[in-house]
Structure 1
Amino acid sequence: MSRTIHLALFSNGPKPAHYAVFIPTGDAGMKGKIIHVIGNTATGFALEFKRNYDFDLTRQRYQLIPLAQVNSQYIRDTVGNGQLSHDTIARDQLESAATMAPNCKDWMQDYVERLVAEGLVPSGAGLVVEGAPRLLPRLGVN
C-alpha cells in the first residue's frame, strides 16, 4: 500500500517560500508530520520533525503539492498524545533519510558550484574542492 507525501510551501513574506515535506497521518486529512530544516545561513540549519502539525490551525499562507507515492512500510505515524511536538529524532525511514544532511565538504561543493554558475569564480574552483583530501595528516599544519 502506498501513501502520498506532499511538498508544503509556506509563505515567507518577501523572502522565498519555506519548503517542507508533509505526511498526513493515516494518508488523509490536514494533520500529520512536517519534515523541514530551520535556521539560516548566518547561524546554520537544523533538521526538525513537527508531529501532529494541523494545517487547519495554520495562519500563514501555504500550498500543498503532491510530491510522491511512498510505500507505507517506510512511514510511521507518531500521534502520541495528539499535541503538536517538535523533535530531531528520526522514527521511520523517511525521517532517517532526512538526517543524511551533507557534510561541510558537500556544502562547500554546492557553494562553489553556485559561485561558478553566477560567474563569480572560474570553473576550476570546483575542481579544487573535488580534489581536496577528505582526511588531513595528524601532525603538521599547512
Structure 2
Amino acid sequence: MTRDVFLIVYRSPVFPAHWALWIPSVDNTNVGKIINVIGDASSGFEHEFVRNHDLEEESHRRNDLVLLAKVNEEHIVDSLEDGSNVNDATAVDDIERKALEIPAPVKSLRLSTDPPTKRVEIQNCQTWLRELVVGLVAAEIFPESSIVAMDNAPKN
C-alpha cells in the first residue's frame, strides 16, 4: 500500500511561505504529522516533527497542499498510539531519519551597516525542504516527479 505525502505551504503576503511535509494518517486524513524546520534566517532553524497534528485546528491559517509523492507504507510510521499531540526531533521512520540527516539551516541573514563583502545565500525552510526531497529521491523513497512538484509550488 502507498501513502500520500504532501508539501504544505503556509502562505505569506510579505515573507517567503513556510514549507513543511504533511503526512496524513491512514485513519483520518485531517490528522497526521508535519516534518519541518522552524526558526528564521536571522537566528537559524531547528528540526521539528509535529505528531498527531489536526489540520482543522489551524483553519485560520492559509495553506495549500501539494501532492509530492505516493510512498510505500514501509517508509512511514504513523504517530503515537495514545493520540497526543507531540513536537519532537526524534526519528521513528525512514523519512524522519532522512530529515535529520539534512542539517537545519544556520543563521544566514546578517544585518550590518558595513558594506557587503560577498553575497550571502539566505537559507530557510524552503531550501531545507528542497534538499530533503532531493535526498528522498536519491534514496528512492520519493519519485523524481516530487522535485518538479516542489519547484512549481507557491513560494509566498
TM-score normalised according to structure 2 size: 0.63
Which residue of structure 1 lines up, in the alignment, with residue 74 of structure 2?
A: 73
Alignment of 1:33-72 (within 5 A): 33-58=33-58, 59-72=60-73
What's the CA shift for 1:30?
Answer: 1.3
* Larger Rg, first or second structure (1 or 2): 1
The whole-number CA distance in structure 2 between the counterparts of 1:71 and 1:28 is 18
What's the CA shift for 1:84?
Answer: 1.7
Which residue of structure 2 lines up, in the alignment, with residue 86 of structure 1?
A: 87
Q: Which moved more, 1:78-87 or 1:34-43?
A: 78-87
What's the CA shift for 1:116?
Answer: 9.0
The whole-number CA distance in structure 2 between the counterparts of 1:33 and 1:51 is 5
The whole-number CA distance in structure 1 between the counterparts of 2:4 and 2:79 is 16
Alignment of 1:82-121 (within 5 A): 82-102=83-103, 115=119
Are residues 1:32 and 2:32 paired?
yes
Task: Tell me the secondary structure at the aligned position of residue 21 of structure 2.
Answer: strand
Q: For structure 1, which runs of at least 5 residues remain unmatched after alignment?
A: 108-114, 118-142
Q: Which amino acid aligns with 1:84?
A: N
Which residue of structure 2 lines up, in the alignment, with residue 20 of structure 1?
A: 20
Task: Tell me the secondary structure at the aligned position of residue 97 of structure 1.
Answer: helix
**Aligned-CA RMSD value:** 2.5
The whole-number CA distance in structure 2 between the counterparts of 1:38 and 1:51 is 15
> Could you say if the C-alpha distance between residues 116 and 47 of structure 1 is closer, same or farther in structure 2, counting changes exceeding 3 Å?
closer
The whole-number CA distance in structure 2 between the counterparts of 1:43 and 1:8 is 23
Q: For structure 2, which runs of at least 5 residues remain unmatched after alignment?
A: 109-118, 122-156
Bigger RCO (CA 8 Å, 6+ sep):
2
Query: Contact between 2:3 and 2:70, CA under 8 Å: does it hold in 1?
Result: yes
